[in-house]
């Protein structure tokens, strides 16, 4: 789960990470009031779950309360399009008003899970800020990486090594050591999967501050952190994925034309691969789970059909624990509830598949039955290419 910058900074502040003071606003008037409380220059920042806001016009400096109100009016309600939002962009519903700080230098700092080495990795660069993607692509040697051993844990000398390699002065290294220690503790104690500070800055007075913050939390550990779970903002998530989650389906929207309904994550991956091999792209990953009941099949059809890019659907179920005749029953019942306006290819294999096939044939539904996976993929790709909607 991702959170907004203002929430990430609130969590980081609990671990002693220095961040500029600020408050979140939903109206231009609130932004003015916050700017009055903060005093002096402020920054008005669009709160969406995406980076690259600055370049897209979502981060603006303001001289005082009146200008803060004006900038908030410009940013609130805008659809921000950045390389991280996709072409449809994200609607801005909140702005974060923070005290502006003077920047002498921008650094990049992140902590993430290194799956290959089964440990945490710290990444840092003296060339942080809005061009970090360019640095990563063109001069990756300018990014320092250091692993944190899960046995030894984090120790200040790691931070000192990184701090000196960033070119920080001894006094700043001291501050950096405290900041990084706080971030690593935050990472571990909140079950985060990523903490990214870009930029971490040095002020002309030599202070080291986190100016931007992004945290991703591990969904599977949220039950241990009710305060963080509460920070979820479903406006920032794909509505179809939210609905699927509520129906107990494991659904991820993709950009192809073939809707897939499969039981089991492994089979779902194989199904997506074979669709690709036959020359079309899957519109989604969807694991209806081991149960594949009438309810889950109906919910799955509803969700698949709400995606206007879906031109044909492939149902690929292996009856291991679930019986194919139960699934066929589910499909027949679902087809009565939901109007399936696209070609439907069904492949049911495993327990009671013959019975299931007879049921589908007798149902009078217009569907294309397939025995083998290869055949099913060929048929659905053909249907998706020919099928106008
Ligand atoms: P992002 O574009 O979504 O990553 O948003 P950031 O929070 O990183 O802000 C983008 C850029 O705006 C930063 O890299 C800074 O250069 C600038 N910026 C943000 N806050 C301040 C501030 O308080 N003072 C100054 N001078 N610049 C700021
Ligand atoms: Mn940033």
Q: Is 52 close to ligand 1, i.e. is its CB under 6 Å away?
A: yes
Number of domains in the chain: 3
**Sign of the alpha-carbon dihedral angle for 155, 148, 164, 193:** negative
What was the pLDDT predicted at 215?
Answer: 98
What pLDDT digit, counting tens, does each position of 300-347 carry? 999 999 999 999 999 999 988 888 998 898 899 888 888 889 999 999
Judge if 246 and 352 occupy the same domain: yes
Say whether both 186 and 267 belong to one domain.
no
The answer to whether residue 138 sits within a structural domain is yes
In this prediction, residue 387 carries a pLDDT of 56
Considering the domain architecture, whether residues 254 and 367 belong to the same structural domain is answered as yes
Mutate which of 49, 59, 207 to test ligand 1's pocket (most atoms within 8 Å of Cβ)? 59
Is 374 among the domain residues?
Answer: yes
Residue 29 lies in a domain: yes
Residues 161 and 281 placed together within one structural domain of the fold: no
Q: What average pLDDT does range 289-305 have in this prediction?
A: 84
Kindly tell me if the per-residue pLDDT of 172 is higher than 60.
yes
Name the residue with the closest Cα to ligand 1, atom 10: 54
Tokens of 109: 């700092």
Same domain, 279 and 378: yes
Q: Is residue 8 part of a domain?
A: no
What's the confidence (pLDDT) of residue 389? 56
- Shared domain check, 284 and 188: no
Do 122 and 153 belong together in one domain? yes
Residue 9 maps to a domain: no
Q: How confident is the model at residue 386 (pLDDT cuts 50, 70, 90)?
A: confident
Instruction: Among 229, 257, 290, give the residue marking a domain's end.
Output: 229
Is the domain of 276 the same as that of 326? yes
In this predicted model, which residue has the larger pLDDT, 327 or 190?
190
pLDDT at 5: 98
In what helix (H) or strand (E) does residue 109 lie, and over which residues does it extend?
A: strand 105-114
Ion ligand 2: protein residues whose beta carbon lies under 5 Å: 198, 212
What's the confidence (pLDDT) of residue 95? 98
20-67 pLDDT, tens digit each:
999 999 999 999 999 999 999 999 999 999 999 999 999 999 999 999
Average pLDDT across the chain, whole number: 94
Comparison of pLDDT for 240 and 201, the residue scoring more = 201
* Residue 69 belongs to domain spanning: 21-99
Residue 130 has pLDDT above 90, yes or no: no
Q: Residue 289 — pLDDT band, cuts 50, 70, 90? A: confident
Which ligand 1 atom lies nearest to the CA of residue 55?
A: 2
CA of 56, nearest ligand number: 1
Count the Cβ atoms, other than its own, within 10 Å of residue 325: 20
Ligand 2 centroid distance, CA of 213 (Å): 7
Does residue 115 lie within any of the structural domains? Answer: yes
DSSP code of residue 7: H
Mind listing the pLDDT tens digit for each residue in 90-122?
Answer: 999 999 999 999 999 999 999 999 999 899 999
Residues 380 and 289 in one domain: yes
Together in a domain, 289 and 374 = yes
Is a pLDDT exceeding 70 seen at residue 176?
A: yes
Ligand 2 midpoint to CA 54 (Å): 8
The domain boundary, picked from 99, 115, 144, lies at 99
CA atoms within 13 A on the CB side of 330: 23
d(CA 308, CA 295): 22
Q: Where does the pLDDT of residue 248 fall: very low under 50, low under 70, confident under 90, or very high at 90 and above?
A: confident
The catalytic residues are: 108, 196
pLDDT in tens, 74-86: 999 999 999 988 8
Cis peptide before 227 (omega within 30 of 0): no
Instruction: Give the distance from CA 94 to its chain's centroid.
Output: 19
- What pLDDT, on the 0 to 100 scale, is given for residue 344? 94
Q: Is 105 in the pocket of ligand 1 (CB under 6 A)?
A: no
**Distance (Å) from CA 53 to ligand 1 centroid:** 9
For ligand 1, whether the C-beta of 41 sits within 6 Å is: no
Q: How far is Cα 101 from Cα 277, in angstroms, rounded to an integer? A: 53
User: Residue 262 in contact with residue 316, Cβ under 8 Å?
Assistant: yes
Residue 54's CATH number = 3.30.1490.20
> What's the pLDDT tens digit per position in 232-247?
999 998 888 888 988 8
Same domain? For 163 and 88 the reply is no
Which two structure tokens, joined as six digits, stand for 345?
């290819």
**Amino acid 225: pLDDT:** 98
**Residues 215, 116 share a domain:** yes
Compute the distance between CA of residue 258 and CA of residue 84 in angstroms, rounded to an integer.
25
Ligand of minimum distance to the alpha carbon of 201: 1
**Is 10 within a domain?**
no
Percent of the chain whose pLDDT exceeds 90 = 79
What's the first-to-final CA gap in the chain, in angstroms? 34
Q: Which of 7, 211, 213 to mutate to test the pocket of ligand 1 (most atoms within 8 A of CB)?
A: 211
CATH number of domain containing 307: 3.40.50.261
Domain boundary among the residues 48, 75, 99 is at: 99
Pocket flag, ligand 1, residue 57 (CB < 6 Å) = no
Task: Say yes or no to pLDDT of 259 above 80.
Answer: yes
Looking at the CA of residue 103, tell me the nearest atom of ligand 1: 26
How close is the Cα of 6 to the center of ligand 2, in Å? 12
In a domain, 54, yes or no: yes
Chain CA centroid to CA 9, Å:
18
User: Distance, CA 357 to ligand 2 centroid (Å)?
Assistant: 55
Q: Which ligand is nearest the CA of 198, by number?
A: 2
Contacts of 109 by beta carbon, 8 Å cutoff, 6+ apart: 122, 123, 124, 128, 180, 183, 196, 197, 198, 200
> 90 — phi, psi (to 5°)?
-130, 130
Question: Could you tell me the distance, in angstroms and rounded to a whole number, from the CA of residue 185 to the centre of ligand 2?
Answer: 21
């Amino acid at each position: 789960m991702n959170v907004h910058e203002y929430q990430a900074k609130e969590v980081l502040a609990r671990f002693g990470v220095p961040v500029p003071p600020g408050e979140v606003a939903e109206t231009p008037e609130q932004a003015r009031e916050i700017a009055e409380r903060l005093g002096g220059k402020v920054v008005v920042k669009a709160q969406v779950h995406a980076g690259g806001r600055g370049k897209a016009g979502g981060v603006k400096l303001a001289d005082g309360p009146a200008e803060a109100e004006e900038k908030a009016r410009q940013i609130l309600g805008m659809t921000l399009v950045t390389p991280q939002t996709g072409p449809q962009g994200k609607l801005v519903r909140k702005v974060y008003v923070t005290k502006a700080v003077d920047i002498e230098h921008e650094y990049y700092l992140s902590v993430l899970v290194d799956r290959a080495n089964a440990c945490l990795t710290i990444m840092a660069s003296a060339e942080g800020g809005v061009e970090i993607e360019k640095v990563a692509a063109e001069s990756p040697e300018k990014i320092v990486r250091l692993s944190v051993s899960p046995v030894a844990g984090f120790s200040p000398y790691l931070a000192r090594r990184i701090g000196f390699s960033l070119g920080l002065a001894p006094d700043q290294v001291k501050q950096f050591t405290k900041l990084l220690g706080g971030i690593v503790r935050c990472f571990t104690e909140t079950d985060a999967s990523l903490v990214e500070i870009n930029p971490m800055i040095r002020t002309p007075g030599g202070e080291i501050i986190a100016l931007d913050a992004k945290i991703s939390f591990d969904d599977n550990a949220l039950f241990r952190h009710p305060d963080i779970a509460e920070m979820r903002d479903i406006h920032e998530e794909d509505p179809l994925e939210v609905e699927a989650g509520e129906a107990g389906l494991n659904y991820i929207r993709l950009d192809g034309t073939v809707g897939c309904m499969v039981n089991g994550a492994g089979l779902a991956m194989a199904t997506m691969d074979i669709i690709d091999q036959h020359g079309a792209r899957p519109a989604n990953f969807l694991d209806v789970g081991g149960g594949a009941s009438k309810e889950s099949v109906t919910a799955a059809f509803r969700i698949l059909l709400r995606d206007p890019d879906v031109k044909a659907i492939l149902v690929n179920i292996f009856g291991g624990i679930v019986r194919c005749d139960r699934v066929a029953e589910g499909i027949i019942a679902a087809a009565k509830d939901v109007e399936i306006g696209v070609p439907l290819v069904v492949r049911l294999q495993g327990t009671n598949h013959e019975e299931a096939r007879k049921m589908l044939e007798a149902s009078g539904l217009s569907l294309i039955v397939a025995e083998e996976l290869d055949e099913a993929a060929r048929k659905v790709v053909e249907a998706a290419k020919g099928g106008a909607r």
